[in-house]
């Protein structure tokens, strides 16, 4: 069965491609970089490098610069194009969706935005109940693309991809790592605030101190303490707002902090701090998390400090 992945970048190849390969899917990437498309079609495979140095070959892949002729026969469609490119992706896939003539298709939207499903649906512009616009929580961190033909994504091994169970149309085909999450709003906020938000605290406060990697920020007594304080406050707020299991929540939060502290990840602060104006958006990981904490009577001080540092970073 064919899976189409919009975007052959770090998440597309460094995460989604691996899950699909494990599930025996035929994989077609849609990617604007001609050199990546040519390399994937020439080789029919690519490599991922994990943080421990081990490499894995993902086989049975092809690529195109356009989704034309792919959407019509796809069993699943994924987006990993970045929120800023999502509306354009919607316009590009609309003809293929229309050509399916009502055959069900679930679109798994792997973007960091609480309203990514709305953005894509409005861009596609079709009133079609046979299409599921399913938000996902992407928690695997993919740090860079190493030199290669095509470039080699360097990633951690985190294997899970929660999907909005209530947005699925019909039966979702099997893909390793996919887990159904409902109600999804809590999972989306947990990802944006607890993962991305605490990550941003480490990035901007670490940049302020001239640090290079996220694990160095976690090891800093002041910054690490602020990150843990923010994590604990967010856990309490999320548990108050949504029906999470408290033991699972604590375990999830500790796993995130241990990953941030892992020196093998070599997660560059420059990567995590990139695009500060977007990350300072009213509903994004910093201001959104701060508001969420205030609404649930939790101390937002770590976010106040990170917001100020992010504003200074943006002025560089």
Q: For 100-112, write each residue's pLDDT tens digit.
A: 999 999 999 999 8
Could you tell me the pLDDT band of residue 198, with boundaries at 50, 70 and 90? very high
Residues 189 and 177 in one domain: no
C-alpha–C-alpha distance, residues 134 and 167, integer Å: 5
One domain for residues 136 and 270:
no
Q: Give pLDDT tens digits for 60-109.
A: 999 999 999 999 999 999 999 999 999 999 999 999 999 999 999 999 99
| Judgement on whether residues 20 and 168 belong to the same structural domain of the protein | yes
Closest CA to 27 of 97, 87, 89, 77: 77
In this prediction, residues 174-198 reach a mean pLDDT of 96
d(CA 128, CA 197): 35
Other CB atoms within a 10 A radius of the CB of residue 303 amount to 29
Buried b (16+ CB within 10 A) or exposed e, 167-197: bbbeebeebebbeebeebebbbbbbbbbbbb
Alpha helices by DSSP H, listed for 77-161, are 86-99, 116-124
What would the mean pLDDT of 270-279 be, rounded to a whole number? 96
When pLDDT is cut at 50, 70 and 90, the band that residue 143 belongs to is: very high
**Helix axis angle, 221-241 to 287-295, nearest 10°:** 60
* Domain CATH code at residue 213: 1.10.1040.10
Q: What is the pLDDT of residue 112?
A: 87
Q: Assess whether 99 and 239 both reside in one domain.
A: no
Question: Whole-angstrom Cα distance, residue 309 to residue 275?
Answer: 13
**pLDDT band of 316, cuts 50, 70, 90:** confident
The domain boundary residue, chosen from 145, 164, 181: 181
For residues 95 and 235, membership in a common domain is answered with no
Q: Answer whether residue 51 shows pLDDT above 90.
A: yes
Give me the mean pLDDT over the 9-35 stretch.
98
Same domain, 60 and 131: yes
pLDDT of residue 215: 98
User: What one-character DSSP code corresponds to residue 172?
Assistant: P
To which residue do tokens 């993962």 refer? Answer: 195
pLDDT band at 127 (very low <50, low <70, confident <90, very high): confident
- Whether residues 121 and 169 fall in one domain: yes
Q: Quick one: 171 and 202 in the same domain?
A: no
Percentage above 70 pLDDT, the chain = 100
The pair of structure tokens assigned to 101 is 């003539």
Q: Do 175 and 205 sit in the same domain of this protein? A: no
- Predicted pLDDT of residue 217: 98
Q: What tens digit of pLDDT does each residue of 238-254 get?
A: 999 999 999 999 999 99
Above 90 in pLDDT, residue 312? yes
Q: What gap in Å lies between CA 88 and CA 12, rounded to an integer?
A: 17
Judgement on whether residues 62 and 74 belong to the same structural domain of the protein: yes
Predicted local distance difference test score (pLDDT) of residue 128: 83
Q: Is the peptide bond before 27 cis (omega within 30 degrees of 0)?
A: no
Query: Are 41 and 29 contacting, i.e. CB atoms less than 8 angstroms apart?
Result: no
- One domain, residues 70 and 53: yes
Q: pLDDT tens-digit profile of 208-220? A: 999 999 999 999 9
Rounded to 5 degrees, φ, ψ at 159 are -105, 0
Percent of the chain with pLDDT over 90: 98
What range defines the domain where residue 205 resides? 184-314
Question: Averaged over 174-178, what is the pLDDT?
Answer: 97
Number of domains in the chain: 2
Instruction: Count the residues in the chain.
Output: 316
Q: What is the CATH number of the domain that holds 39?
A: 3.40.50.720
- Phi/psi for 199 (5° steps) reads -60, -40
Q: 22 and 56 in contact (C-beta within 8 Å)? A: no
| Residue 186 near residue 243 (C-beta atoms within 8 A) | yes
* Single residue among 114, 149, 181 that ends a domain in this structure: 181
166 plus 67 within the same structural domain: yes
**Residue 22: pLDDT over 90:** yes
Query: How many Å apart are CA 196 and CA 203, to the nearest integer?
Result: 10
Coil, helix or strand at residue 98: helix
Domain boundary among 181, 197, 220: 181
């Amino acid at each position: 069965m064919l899976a189409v992945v919009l975007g052959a970048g770090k998440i597309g190849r460094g995460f989604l491609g691996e899950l699909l390969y494990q599930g025996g899917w035929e994989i077609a990437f849609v990617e604007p970089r001609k050199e990546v498309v040519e390399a994937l079609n020439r080789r029919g495979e690519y490599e991922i490098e994990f943080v421990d140095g081990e490499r894995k070959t993902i086989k049975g892949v092809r690529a195109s610069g356009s989704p034309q002729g792919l959407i019509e026969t796809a069993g699943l469609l994924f987006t990993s194009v970045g929120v800023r490119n999502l509306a354009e992706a919607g316009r590009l896939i609309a003809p293929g969706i229309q050509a399916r003539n009502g055959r069900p298709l679930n679109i798994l939207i792997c973007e960091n935005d609480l309203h990514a499903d709305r953005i894509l649906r409005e861009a596609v512009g079709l009133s079609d109940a046979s299409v599921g616009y399913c938000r996902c929580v992407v928690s695997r961190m993919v740090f860079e693309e190493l030199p290669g033909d095509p470039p080699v994504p360097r990633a951690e091994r985190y294997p899970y991809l929660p999907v909005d169970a209530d947005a699925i149309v019909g039966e979702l085909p099997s893909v390793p790592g996919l887990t159904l999450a409902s109600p999804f709003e809590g999972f989306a906020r947990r990802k944006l605030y607890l993962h991305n938000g605490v990550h941003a605290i480490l990035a901007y406060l670490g940049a302020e101190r001239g640090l290079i990697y996220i694990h160095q920020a976690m090891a800093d007594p002041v910054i690490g303490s602020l990150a843990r304080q923010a994590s604990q406050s967010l856990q309490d707020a999320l548990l108050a707002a949504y029906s999470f299991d408290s033991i699972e929540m604590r375990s999830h939060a500790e796993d995130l902090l241990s990953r941030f502290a892992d020196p093998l990840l070599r997660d560059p602060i420059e990567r995590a701090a990139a695009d500060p104006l977007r990350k300072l958006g009213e509903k994004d990981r910093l201001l959104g998390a701060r508001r969420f904490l205030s609404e649930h009577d939790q101390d937002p001080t770590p976010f106040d400090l990170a917001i100020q540092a992010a504003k200074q970073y943006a002025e560089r």
